[in-house]
């Protein structure tokens, strides 16, 4: 007798094939059969679910998260697990927590805090530090239970500091012995179960103290030394965040060489900065060239613009740059709101332009046509120009700074403003649409678990269905089957996880049962639920009638069942 039968489901199986109606049988954590509706009798299973036309998909596989600290204290892996994600991959962009010498713990926390905006106090209180080596870090994860499966990558920052000490952390050049030492540890990590290696090349990524992530300026010899370790291990994605200004001229040659050495995927983050709004087209052309030469180069792209959510509880917002706000910024929120309501202070905020050499004008006043108040019951992630603060000021006759102050002080200080800064140079998501269709791009960059005080993109997997396949009005939509394929089979196979991402016999029973018509998500909000009361922006989904990890139901009607079947993933996987 099987463990579970799901009957009468609208099956989208993750391969990109057309939707069909089916019954699915699950036993011992695996999908055992798929047949036409009526083929599976409920009496042949210990439990039967009538899907009654609900959408059934593979569980989402999110390959770009930053839960490296959160795995120490949180079995629930929110927000990802609120959004149908059943497998996560962490350790991206060159930051992580292993290997870690005991005297480097605080330094690693400050590195993560600076790069990924995770409260340092939360990590200080929450991380257990029951490891030194990367393999011991994996063992520490393996000893716990989670609501999702977890894969990890070894990151360049902690690796370099562990092998080279202060020389490594300060980005000094690596010698041949240093490179050999790093290669040995990368190979050991991959054999222990790491899914890849990550590094950062962008000057945007800096520690809390302003230092570049170790490895940012590493030479090609160091990177190719890592590549040889990946080749020896026989698996491992090489993932990195690029400096877009140097990507085409300085980075692409070694990327090609590295992919040739490893024979494994090399995956670069691809965004559209306003400073180079057409760069993405050139990158897609180079990916075509790589594909024609059978070179395993890929680009991770986000499902929506990467944008800051400004709010008074957040890491950054427009009022921070004004002296009238700075005078009261450290007050508790209730007292701060009262001070911001004082007539003279309010007048200064609205009318006075600080004498700061033009900083306030550059970062606030010159951006008013690219920031959008978040009001109503839903957030618009593809806002039109007439929704901007600048446009609203013109249409209402209200000064733009007054609109900003009123919005940010609304809802007891929880009012928000959305400010896209990547992937919105055209004023819509047309770049994202084109990049998402490209055969050598992969879904990524949700950054779930990170950017706690400014960005809330862990819900992107849900957004991909609601916006791109159902609700978009400012351009063409994407087929539902394709979007499911993008965040299941494609992402799973990128990291060698061939036992999941497809609803087929012999595959792992990681599944989502979705009320597609009702699928939605809340407005982002600031929660204070990290260790030490640390803050984070969160956004919960609605419409996940069931989520299954290894055949065990973890979510029922958007709430956790209490089951924790998730485990560490060690290395590539094949169907049983």
**What is the span of the domain harbouring residue 399?**
310-416
Specify the residue for token string 């499966």: 149
Evaluated on CA atoms 10, 488, 450, 475, the torsion sign reads negative
Which whole number is the average pLDDT over 383-395?
97
Is residue 568 one of the residues assigned to a domain? no
Local confidence band at 250 (pLDDT 50, 70, 90 cut-offs)? very high
> pLDDT per residue over 292-325, tens digit each?
999 999 999 999 999 999 999 999 999 999 999 9
Is residue 574 one of the residues assigned to a domain? no
Is residue 503 one of the residues assigned to a domain? no
Same structural domain, 453 and 544: no
Same structural domain, 386 and 488: no
Same structural domain, 404 and 266: no
Same structural domain, 341 and 357: yes
Local confidence band at 495 (pLDDT 50, 70, 90 cut-offs)? very high
Query: Per-residue b/e over 82-100, b at no fewer than 16 CB within 10 Å?
Result: bbbbbbbbbbbbbbbbbbb
User: Does residue 40 surpass a pLDDT of 90?
Assistant: no
User: Does residue 38 surpass a pLDDT of 80?
Assistant: no
Helix (H, G, I), strand (E, B) or coil at 234: coil
Same structural domain, 53 and 65: no
Give residue 376's pLDDT: 82
User: Does residue 42 surpass a pLDDT of 90?
Assistant: no
Is residue 499 one of the residues assigned to a domain? no
What is the spatial distance between Cα 556 and Cα 463, in angstroms, rounded to a whole number?
A: 20
Please give the DSSP secondary-structure letter assigned to residue 213.
P
Query: Per-residue b/e over 429-448, b at no fewer than 16 CB within 10 Å?
Result: bbbbbebbebebbbbbbbbb
> pLDDT per residue over 156-182, tens digit each?
999 999 999 999 999 999 999 999 999
Is residue 161 one of the residues assigned to a domain? yes
Give residue 374's pLDDT: 96
Same structural domain, 290 and 317: no
- Among the candidates 392, 416, 440, a domain finishes at 416
Give residue 242's pLDDT: 96
Is residue 569 one of the residues assigned to a domain? no
Looking at the chain, the whole-number percentage of residues with pLDDT higher than 90 is: 97
**Do 175 and 221 contact (CB within 8 A), yes or no?**
no
pTM above threshold 0.95: yes
Local confidence band at 377 (pLDDT 50, 70, 90 cut-offs)? confident
> pLDDT per residue over 6-25, tens digit each?
999 999 999 999 999 999 99
Beta strands in 121-191 (DSSP E): 149-155
Which residue, among 457, 570, 463, 440, has the nearest Cα to 519 in the 3D structure?
Answer: 463
What is the spatial distance between Cα 547 and Cα 77, in angstroms, rounded to a whole number?
A: 14
What is the spatial distance between Cα 324 and Cα 344, in angstroms, rounded to a whole number?
A: 9
Is residue 576 one of the residues assigned to a domain? no
Angle at the Cα of 267 (from 129 to 172), degrees rounded to 5? Answer: 60
> pLDDT per residue over 396-428, tens digit each?
999 999 999 999 999 999 999 999 999 999 999
Same structural domain, 369 and 467: no
Same structural domain, 370 and 429: no
Which whole number is the average pLDDT over 541-553?
98
Is residue 440 one of the residues assigned to a domain? yes
Give residue 103's pLDDT: 96
Same structural domain, 332 and 447: no
User: Does residue 497 surpass a pLDDT of 80?
Assistant: yes
Same structural domain, 123 and 272: yes
- Give Cβ neighbours of residue 62 (< 8 Å, ≥ 6 apart): 80, 85, 87, 88, 89, 443, 444, 446, 448, 461, 487, 491
CATH of the domain at 530: 2.30.40.10
- Among the candidates 468, 494, 520, a domain finishes at 494
Give residue 452's pLDDT: 97
User: Does residue 39 surpass a pLDDT of 80?
Assistant: no
Mean pLDDT score across all residues of the chain: 97
Give residue 1's pLDDT: 84
What is the spatial distance between Cα 234 and Cα 496, in angstroms, rounded to a whole number?
A: 11
CATH of the domain at 169: 3.20.20.140
For the chain, the domain total comes to 3
């Amino acid at each position: 007798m099987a463990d579970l039968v799901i009957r009468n489901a609208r099956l989208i199986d993750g391969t990109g094939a057309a939707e069909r109606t089916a019954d699915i049988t699950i036993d011992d954590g695996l999908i055992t059969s798929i047949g036409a509706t009526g083929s599976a009798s409920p009496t042949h299973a210990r439990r039967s679910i009538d899907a009654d036309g609900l959408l059934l998909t593979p569980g989402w596989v999110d390959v770009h998260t930053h839960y490296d600290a959160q795995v120490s204290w949180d079995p629930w892996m929110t927000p990802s697990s609120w959004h149908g994600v059943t497998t996560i991959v962490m350790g991206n962009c060159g930051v992580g927590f292993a290997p870690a010498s005991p005297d480097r713990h605080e330094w690693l926390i400050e590195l993560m805090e600076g790069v990924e905006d995770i409260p340092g106090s939360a990590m200080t209180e929450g991380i257990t530090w029951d490891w030194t080596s990367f393999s011991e870090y994996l063992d520490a994860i393996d000893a716990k239970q989670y609501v999702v499966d977890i894969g990890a990558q070894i990151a360049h920052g902690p690796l370099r500091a562990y092998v080279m000490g202060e020389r490594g952390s300060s980005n000094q050049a690596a010698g041949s012995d240093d490179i050999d030492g790093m290669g040995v540890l990368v190979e050991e990590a991959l054999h222990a179960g790491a899914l890849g290696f990550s590094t950062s090349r962008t000057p945007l990524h800096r520690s809390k103290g302003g230092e570049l992530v170790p490895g940012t300026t590493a030479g090609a010899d160091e990177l190719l030394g890592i590549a040889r370790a990946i080749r020896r291990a026989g698996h491992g994605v090489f993932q990195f965040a690029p400096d877009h200004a140097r990507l085409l001229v300085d980075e692409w040659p070694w990327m090609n060489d590295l992919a040739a050495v490893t024979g494994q995927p090399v995956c670069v983050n691809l965004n559209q900065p306003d400073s180079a709004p057409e760069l993405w087209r050139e990158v897609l052309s180079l990916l075509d060239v790589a594909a024609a030469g059978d070179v395993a180069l890929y680009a991770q792209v986000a499902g929506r613009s990467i944008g800051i959510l400004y709010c008074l509880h957040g890491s950054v917002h427009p009022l921070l740059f004004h002296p009238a706000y700075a005078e009261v910024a450290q007050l508790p929120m209730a007292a701060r709101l009262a001070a911001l309501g004082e007539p003279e202070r309010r007048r200064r905020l609205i009318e006075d332009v600080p004498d700061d050499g033009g900083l306030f004008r550059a970062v606030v006043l010159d951006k008013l046509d690219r920031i959008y108040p978040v009001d109503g019951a839903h957030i618009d992630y593809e806002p039109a120009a007439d929704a901007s603060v600048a446009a609203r000021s013109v249409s209402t006759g209200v000064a733009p700074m007054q609109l900003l102050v009123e919005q940010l002080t609304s809802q007891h200080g929880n009012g928000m403003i959305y400010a896209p800064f990547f992937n919105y140079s055209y004023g819509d998501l047309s770049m994202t649409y084109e990049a998402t269709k490209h055969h050598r791009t992969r879904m990524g960059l949700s950054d779930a678990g990170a950017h706690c005080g400014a960005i809330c993109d862990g819900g992107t997997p849900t957004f991909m269905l609601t916006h791109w396949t159902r609700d978009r009005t400012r351009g063409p939509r994407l087929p539902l089957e394709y979007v499911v394929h993008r965040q299941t089979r494609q992402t799973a196979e990128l990291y060698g996880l061939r036992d999941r991402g497809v609803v087929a016999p012999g595959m792992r029973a990681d599944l989502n049962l979705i009320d597609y018509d009702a699928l939605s998500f809340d407005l982002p909000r600031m929660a204070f639920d990290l260790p030490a009361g640390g803050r984070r922006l969160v956004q919960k989904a609605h419409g996940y009638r069931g989520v299954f990890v290894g055949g065990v139901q973890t979510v029922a009607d958007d709430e956790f069942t209490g089951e924790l079947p998730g485990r560490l993933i060690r290395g590539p996987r094949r169907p049983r």
